[in-house]
Structure 1
Amino acid sequence: MRPRGLARGGLGFPGAGWMNLVAILSNTKSTSNARFMPALRRFIAQRPGIFHVETRDVGEISQALGLFADARPAVIVINGGDGTIQATISALINERPFGDAAPPPLAVLPSGKTNMIAWDLGMRRRPEKELARLYEIARAGAIGDYCMARPLIGMDLGAGAPPVYGMFFGAAGIVSGIQYCREKIFPRRIPNGVAHLYALGMLAGAALLLRADSPRSPVRTAPMRINLRGGGIIDGQFFIVMATTLERILMGIRPHAPAHGGPIKFSCVEHRPMAVLRAVVAMAMGRYGKHGLSGMHVRSGDLIRVHTREAVTLDGELFHAASDAPITLRGHEGLAFVRMPA
C-alpha cells in the first residue's frame, strides 16, 4: 500500500533495475518550493525513467527512501530546502535504507530560501532547468562523471538520539539572523539574496552599536564554551559561531581554515565592535578566516564540543542541547553528491 501523503509521478513506478532511473524527492511544504512545483511536475510528466515522490511531512522522507531503495535509481534528486536535505542525509546514514550498499549519489535542486548546499554544488539555475541538466546526464549514464565525496557534520545533542547530519552548523548571531529573517524579512517577500544581505548588515550594525547583553540588540548572546580537539578551548560571547564542510556559504563567502586539522572548518567572532567590524570587512573582501585577526578564531578539526543553552542551527533547522550536555560535532566521511559545472 502506498503510504498516505506520498505521490508517485512521471510515467508510473519503474521496476527495480531500471537503467539510469532518476528518483526525485520533493518536499511540497517547503515555502519557496510551492512556486516551482508546477513547472517540475510538467517536466516529470513528459519524460520516462523518473520516479517522483512528493512528501508533505519530514516524517515521510524515510518511507520515500525505502521506495527508492527498491527501485535502485542512478541518482536521488532532493527538491526542497536545506532542512529537507539535512533530513534526507540523516535518514540515509542513520536508517540505512540501502543496506550495506552505498546509496546513490545525491543531487540538490535550489528550491529553498537559502540554498547554500545547492549553490555550493553548482546548482544555481531555476530548479526545472537544473533537473533538465541532471536528467540528460543520467540518461547518458554519466552521473558518475559529476560525483564528488562531500564530508558531513554529525551533530549529537546529548539526548541519546541518533546524530543529525548536515553541512553547516551555526550559533549566536547566525541563529539570530535566521529568526530575524523568518519573522521580519521573509513575510515581506524580499528576494532571498537581498534578505540575507540586509539581515547581515542589520545584525552587524547592532553588534557595533549595542552591547551583547543589551535588551535592544537582536543579537543577544550568552557566554559559550567551545572545545576543539587539538585546537584548545575558547570561552566568551560571540557574534558568530559556525562550522561547515561547504566550500562557499551565504553570499559566496568562502570560509577559509587550515587544511590539516580535519574536514570541519570552524570559526567564531567575538562579540566586540572591532572584532565584528574586522570580520565584516574580511567577508566583503573574500578573506574571511584566511588571515589571523584579533577577536576571530579559525580552526579545522574533526571533533568540536559546544557548551551552550541557546538555540543552534544545522542547515537552517533550529535545535537545543539536551539539559546541560554539550553539543558534539563530529566529522563524517560523508556521501557522494553530484556537482554541476557552472
Structure 2
Amino acid sequence: MARIALLSNPRSSGNRSLLPRVRSFCAEHNDIFHYEVEHVDQIGVALRTIALVQPSVLVINGGDGTVQAALTELYHGGHFGDAIPPVAVLPNGKTNLIALDLGAGGDPIVALERVLELVRTDMVPHIVSRALIALTDGSAQKPVLGMFLGGAGLADTMLFCRHKIYPLGLPNGFSHLLTAMAAMFSILFGLRAAFLPPRPKHMTISVVRHGQIQGRFAFLMVTTLQRLLLKGQLPNTAGPVGALQLMVIERRRSALLRALFAAVIGKLGKYRMAGVHLEHGDEIRIEGEHSNVILDGELFQTSSGHPIVLKPTAPVPFLRLAA
C-alpha cells in the first residue's frame, strides 16, 4: 500500500520547472504513488484510481484550479467512501493560500519531504479539519467547492493581475506588489484608467441571520482558512459561530486606510471599525449585476435574480505540515 498518493497537474504554471524534480523524488521513494493529469477533467478518473491504492495521505501538486477541482471531486465523487485521507497541498501556483494555511511554504520538494516524514510517524497530531465552501449560482450543476473566495474589488484586482500583470513575466511577488499598488492608487485618488483595476460594481451581501450590507466594496473575502489576508482575524463571539468567515471593506479611502493600518499593527478584526465588516456565518448570499467572484481560481458572476450562495460543507481532514 502506498503511504502517499501525489496528484500532479503538469500544466500548472508552477510545475513547468518543478515537475522534473518531483518525478525524480518520487522515483527515489517507492511509497509514493504519483498520478499526473493533463487536464482538470481527468481528476475524477485520477481519484478513482488513487482510491484503489488506499493512500494514507493525498497530496495535491498544482495551481489553485487543480486544488479546487480536486477538492470538489474528492467531496462529491465518493471514491474513498467515508474514509477520505488527509489532504496536503504543495506550495505551487500563483497564490498558495491553502498551502500557506496548512504550513507548506517555500520549496515544494521540502514540503513533500515533510509529508513523507509525517506519514512515517504518528500523523494524528498534525491532522486538522477544515470545512469547504460550497458555491451555487442558480445553475443545475452540483456545487463547486473551495476554501477561499474573493469578490468585489478584490476579484477585479485579481483578474487585473491575471490578465494585465502576469503576462509581463515578472516574478510572482513583484507582480502582486505592483497589482496592490495599482489598486490602492485607484481607490485613494479615485482615478480610472486602462492601466488600473476597474471600479467594482454595486452589490448586496447577506449573512443569513446577521444582516445585509450594500454598496461598492474594495475587498470581499469569504474563507474557511485560518490564516486570513491582511493578517486579519475575526472577533470572538459568544456561542456557536458559522464556519464561513467574511471580511468586507467598503470602497472608501478612510475605510481602506483604517483597515490597512490595523493590519500593520496586528489589530485588524480585534475591534469594530467603520467601513470594515467581519462576520461568521453558515450561509452567505452575494447579489449584483455581473459582479465577479473567484473561488480558488475559478471565476463566477452574479446575475439578476440568481444570487451566488455560499454554504459550508462537513469538515474534511487536512495534513498540517508546520510543527
Task: Tell me if TM exceeds 0.5.
Answer: yes
Q: Please state how far the C-alpha of 1:286 moved relative to its aligned partner.
A: 2.7
Correspondence for 1:66 among 48, 63, 88 = 48
- Give the match for residue 188 of structure 2: 208
Correspondence for 2:170 among 183, 190, 215 = 190
For the residues of structure 2 that align with 1:257 and 1:199, how far apart are their CA atoms?
29
For the residues of structure 2 that align with 1:78 and 1:105, how far apart are their CA atoms?
11
For the residues of structure 2 that align with 1:190 and 1:146, how far apart are their CA atoms?
35
- Residue 137 of structure 2 corresponds to residue 157 of structure 1: yes
Larger CA deviation: 191-200 vs 288-297: 191-200
Larger CA deviation: 190-199 vs 272-281: 190-199
Correspondence for 2:242 among 245, 262, 273 = 262
Larger CA deviation: 53-62 vs 152-161: 152-161
Q: Please state how far the C-alpha of 1:282 moved relative to its aligned partner.
A: 2.2
Equivalent position SS for 2:247 = strand
- Which TM-score applies when normalising by structure 2? 0.93
Residues 58 and 327 from structure 1, CA distance in 2 versus in 1: closer, same or farther, beyond 3 angstroms? Answer: same
Q: Please state how far the C-alpha of 1:232 moved relative to its aligned partner.
A: 0.5
- Give the match for residue 122 of structure 1: 103
Alignment check: 8 A CA contact 2:14 2:92 kept: yes
Structure 1, residues 118-155: CA drift from partner, whole Å, max 9, x if none?
Answer: 011000131111111211322x2423331111122111
For the residues of structure 2 that align with 1:280 and 1:219, how far apart are their CA atoms?
20
Residues 322 and 234 from structure 1, CA distance in 2 versus in 1: closer, same or farther, beyond 3 angstroms? Answer: closer
- Give the match for residue 13 of structure 1: none
Residues 151 and 166 from structure 1, CA distance in 2 versus in 1: closer, same or farther, beyond 3 angstroms? Answer: same
- Residue 200 of structure 2 corresponds to residue 218 of structure 1: no
The size of the alignment, in residue pairs, is 319
Alignment check: 8 A CA contact 1:247 1:254 kept: no
Question: RMSD value over aligned CA atoms?
Answer: 1.8
Q: Please state how far the C-alpha of 1:334 moved relative to its aligned partner.
A: 2.3
- Which TM-score applies when normalising by structure 1? 0.88
For the residues of structure 1 that align with 2:160 and 2:122, how far apart are their CA atoms?
42
Alignment check: 8 A CA contact 1:204 1:280 kept: no
Q: Please state how far the C-alpha of 1:49 moved relative to its aligned partner.
A: 1.6
Q: Runs of 5+ in structure 1 lacking a partner?
A: 1-17
Q: Runs of 5+ in structure 2 lacking a partner?
A: none
What pairs with 1:306-321 in structure 2 (closer than 5 Å)? 306-308=286-288, 309-321=290-302
Structure 1, residues 73-119: CA drift from partner, whole Å, max 9, x if none?
Answer: 111000012221111111111121123x2211101100111000001
- Give the match for residue 64 of structure 2: 82
- Give the match for residue 287 of structure 1: 267
- Give the match for residue 318 of structure 2: 337
Alignment check: 8 A CA contact 2:156 2:200 kept: no
Q: Please state how far the C-alpha of 1:316 moved relative to its aligned partner.
A: 2.2
Residues 258 and 204 from structure 1, CA distance in 2 versus in 1: closer, same or farther, beyond 3 angstroms? Answer: farther
- Give the match for residue 175 of structure 1: 155
Q: Please state how far the C-alpha of 1:323 moved relative to its aligned partner.
A: 5.5
- Give the match for residue 13 of structure 2: 31
Q: Please state how far the C-alpha of 1:320 moved relative to its aligned partner.
A: 2.1
- Give the match for residue 303 of structure 1: 283
